[in-house]
Amino acid sequence: MAFLEIRGVTKSFGATDVLHRVDLEVEDGDFLVLVGPSGCGKTTLLNMVAGLEQVSSGEIAIKERVMNDVHPSQRNIAMVFQSYALYPNMTVAQNITFGLEMHKVPKPERDKRMREVAELLQIGQLLDRRPSQLSGGQRQRVAMGRALVRKPDVFLFDEPLSNLDAKLRVTMRTEIKKLHQRLGATIFYVTHDQVEAMTLSTKIAVMDGGYVQQFGTPKQIYDHPANVFVATFMGSPAMNLLPVTVTDGHAVLADGQRLRLANAPAGAERKALLGLRPEHFAAPDDAAEGLPRLKGKVSVIEPAGSDTYAVAMIGDCECTARLRADAQVQPGADFEFACEMAKASLFDPDSGKRIE
């Protein structure tokens, strides 16, 4: 049995279902990230694990104990909120120990644990301040300290980095990852940012429209997206989807260009979407020998420092290719792209599902 299990959980408000039969399993020490656009149901799911919202049907179990009717404070979980939710009238020290006080942990023990956490997060000098006197990053640390001090079975994170500026977000992301590696804690983390999802997680659940679209390791999600939504949501710039006709082992583009497929599906001729990520393109000089090529007309060049992105019309589809920073490519010119077909994905154009 898994450490945290979500079995057939549904959430409905009146007649509308906002979550449809979600099944997820998390092992001890896993870092699970729920990722999806806003309104996909990820925060609702998190709140149900926390016990802040009722489960309409299905079961949530932690350490084999069904939690559906257990009060949030009795689930041995801790949560880091998007707004940090620090009590404005209490000092940092009081914020961190409030939960222990409510659970009637004796004062010496509370102080000991608070000092440990303060040292771990390097917030010892902030203990007497109030939340209003802290910077965003400091608040973030205090919010994590409040969760850590409880030594919970599961940490719940609700978009904890979304209120930080871009630079701090990257720093804190690394810190959260370090913390996870050091403590080996089980983490259930919600975000709309696919980069966070990829960098932090050991497992990802991509959600949309109240459904779990795909559940797997970051590598599975990125390399073998289960459907068009996952393919385009994860990765930036998004995966290019070229409408093709698949016939005897080749993909034929709208303008007649043919590409040999590495893993061609069996069966008769059919329409499909050919998914190629920007980094699956390369300038011919940089590519391995023998890769198939696609011709396209380059419309825009976006130098991004470490790489150069070329936007080009290939077939009748606008594609983005990630080339080396010094690639010799001009806007308006025709260009040949080498394509790494071994990594390409195929999707059914009607259902959006991956074709194996």
Partner 1 sequence: MTAPRPSRILIYGTLGLFALYYLMPLFVMVTNSLKPLAEITGGNMVALPQEWTLAPWLSAWSTAQIGVDPSGLRPYFWNSIKMVVPAVAISTLLGALNGYVLTKWRFRYDTLLFGLMLFSCFIPFQIVLIPMARLLGLTGLAGTTGGLALVHIVYGVGFTTLYYRNYYSAFPTELVRAAQIDGAGFWQIFWRVMLPSSGPITVVSVIWQFTNIWNDFLFGASFGDIDSQPMTVALNNLVQSSTGVKEYNVHFAGAIMAALPTMLVYVVAGRYFVRGLMAGSVKG
CA distances from 8 to 37, 55, 60, 69, 112 (A): 22, 10, 9, 16, 41
What is the pattern of x (binds partner 1, CB under 8 A) and - over residues 24-63? --------------------------xxx-----------
CA distances from 328 to 309, 315, 323 (A): 12, 22, 9
CB of 14 or CB of 267, closer to partner 1: 14
Token couple for 18: 């906002």
Whether the Cβ atoms of residue 75 and residue 51 lie closer than 8 Å to each other: yes
CB of 12 or CB of 125, closer to partner 1: 12
Q: Give the footprint of partner 1 on residues 231-290 (CB under 8 A).
A: none
Q: List strands edge to edge, sheet with 57-62.
A: 16-26, 4-13, 57-62, 65-66
Count of residues of this chain found to bind partner 1 when the rule CB under 8 A is applied: 23
All residues at 6 or more sequence positions from 89 whose CB lies less than 8 Å from its CB, including other chains:
130
Which residue among 103, 260, 271, 353 contacts partner 1 (CB under 8 A)?
103
Choices 61-69, 74-82, 321-329, 339-347 (CB under 8 A): range interacting with partner 1: 74-82
> Does residue 134 touch partner 1 according to CB under 8 A?
no
Q: How many CB atoms lie within 10 A of CB 20?
A: 15
Residue 250 CA to residue 213 CA, distance in Å, equals 28
Which residue among 83, 135, 181, 351 contacts partner 1 (CB under 8 A)?
83
Which residue among 15, 102, 166, 288 contacts partner 1 (CB under 8 A)?
102
CB of 109 or CB of 316, closer to partner 1: 109
Which residue among 29, 39, 58, 99 contacts partner 1 (CB under 8 A)?
99
Q: How many CB atoms lie within 10 A of CB 13?
A: 10
> Does residue 82 touch partner 1 according to CB under 8 A?
yes
Name the pairing type of β-strands 186-191 and 16-26: unpaired
Which residue among 2, 61, 85, 355 contacts partner 1 (CB under 8 A)?
85
> Does residue 313 touch partner 1 according to CB under 8 A?
no
Binding site for partner 1 (CB under 8 A): 50-52, 71-73, 77-79, 81-83, 85-90, 98-99, 102-103, 146
